[in-house]
Structure 1
């Protein structure tokens, strides 16, 4: 399909405007992290690195980052195991209620975060009698992280087909051997992409965290929200936000590259 030069220019202008609206606020956060003023003002009154130095020795920020990394890692591991098993079950087997199960697996990421947070908080506290804390937070994050792994695994299994697995079974290999030597090597890049995306989603989640963490468990997004409007803390929050942007963008970019590269299956096999 060919389009006129004026149409191309219009599309380029609209695309540029959308990108400016999306990323100008992020650029403002980066600039304000070096601003000498303690207020979120524009234009910057000067350049300084003192806020980065203060953030580097801030114990609250350190504890929050460590908590977020630990929760995200645990939730990602749970999502990789459960999401892979669910993807294999949905794609390789037929059973009663399959469509319903598929819907229930995907539903947590489609629901508003506040609905999921309230539901999990009530379930843990009222029904199960579990005290809100680190464990409940990991489980809560895993509920929506599973979906990212599940979608990647299911999409890869559709592309793979079942010919190689059937050939392995015909040659006498058992289910576990076939999975370990045939299926898993072809799923590795999809699992890596799903795991990276799950980690990024868990790392910057705040709504579900607010309801499922309980007292004493402070993740980085919660720490940012708590300190944003405290006197003298806004510049340090900007610094931490910049770090959070980098940590969140890197795995999402890598996951996109792995998911969109048509040759990744061949590389995974070799």
Structure 2
């Protein structure tokens, strides 16, 4: 369908307004990270990189960053294993309750984070009797990061079909050999894309983390919340926010490039 020139102009203006609404606040955060005024006064009267130096020399901040990286990496690895197994089972086999399991795997990403956080907190502390710790935090992150891996692998397996795997089995290869030599090479790009998305989701998650981390664990998003309104810390928080945006965007960009290259 061919659109009129006036319609294209209106759509372009509307898209520009939406993008401005989304990304203008990010530009403000970037400007605040070099704002010479510790109270972030506007308009900006001076520019300084002092806050960047303070950020990279803050022991508490670096510790929180390492915690976030560690949790995200472990959650991503576990999600790769479980998500791939779930995708293989639900894409390649028929069994009772298949549709229900498919919905349950995807459900955590659709639920509000506060609902997931409260539910997991009650499950850990009341039902199971486990003290909130790094273990409970990683388990909580896996519940929603697994979805990104599962969706990517499930879709890729659906595109590939089963002919090559059946041919491998006819030639005498076992299940593991077929997966290692036939299936894995064809889904590895989807695994990589799913892992990048899982890492990005886990790294900047705060709502579920708040309910499942325990009092002694501080991730980068929690550090930001704790320091947001402390005196002279707002510019440093802006620096951390800029870094988090970059760290989150890189995996998303790479994931998009990888998935777009899948034939």
- For this structure pair, what is the TM-score category when the shorter chain's length is used for normalisation? over 0.9
Give the Cα–Cα distance (whole angstroms) in 1 for the partners of residues 52 and 130 of structure 2. Answer: 39
User: SS of the counterpart of 1:44?
Assistant: coil
Structure 1 alignment gaps of length 5 or more = 264-270
Task: Return 5+ residue gaps in structure 2 as ranges.
Answer: none
Q: In structure 2, the residue corresponding to 1:24 is in which secondary structure? A: helix
Structure 1 residue runs of 4 or more that deviate by more than 3 Å after TM superposition: none
Partner of 1:99: 99
Alignment of 1:60-71 (within 5 A): 60-71=60-71
Structure 2 match to 1:57: 57
Q: Distance in 1 between matches of 2:221 and 2:59?
A: 15
Name the counterpart of 1:163: 163
Q: Deviations over 1:130-179 (max 9, x none)?
A: 11011100000000000110000000001111111011111111110000
Match of 2:216 in 1: 216
Shift of 1:261: 2.6
Offset from partner CA, 1:38-61 (integer Å, 9 cap, x none): 123332121100000111100111
CA contact (8 A) 2:189 2:262 kept: no
Cα distance in 2 for partners of 1:26, 1:69 equals: 22
Q: CA deviation at 1:4?
A: 1.1
| Distance (whole Å) between structure 1 residues aligned to residue 168 and residue 240 of structure 2 | 50
Q: How does 1:63-82 map to 2 (within 5 A)?
A: 63-82=63-82
TM-score, normalised relative to structure 2 = 0.98
Kindly indicate whether residue 52 of structure 2 is the aligned counterpart of residue 37 of structure 1. Answer: no
Q: Distance in 1 between matches of 2:27 and 2:155?
A: 35
Which structure 2 residues correspond to residues 101-116 of structure 1 after superposition, within 5 A? 101-116=101-116
Alignment correspondent of 1:205: 205
CA distance in 1, matches of 2:97, 2:43: 59
CA apart distance, 1:257: 1.6
* Equivalent in the alignment of 1:266: none
Taking the aligned partners of 2:156 and 2:142, their CA distance within structure 1 comes to: 21
Report the TM-score when normalising by structure 1.
Answer: 0.96
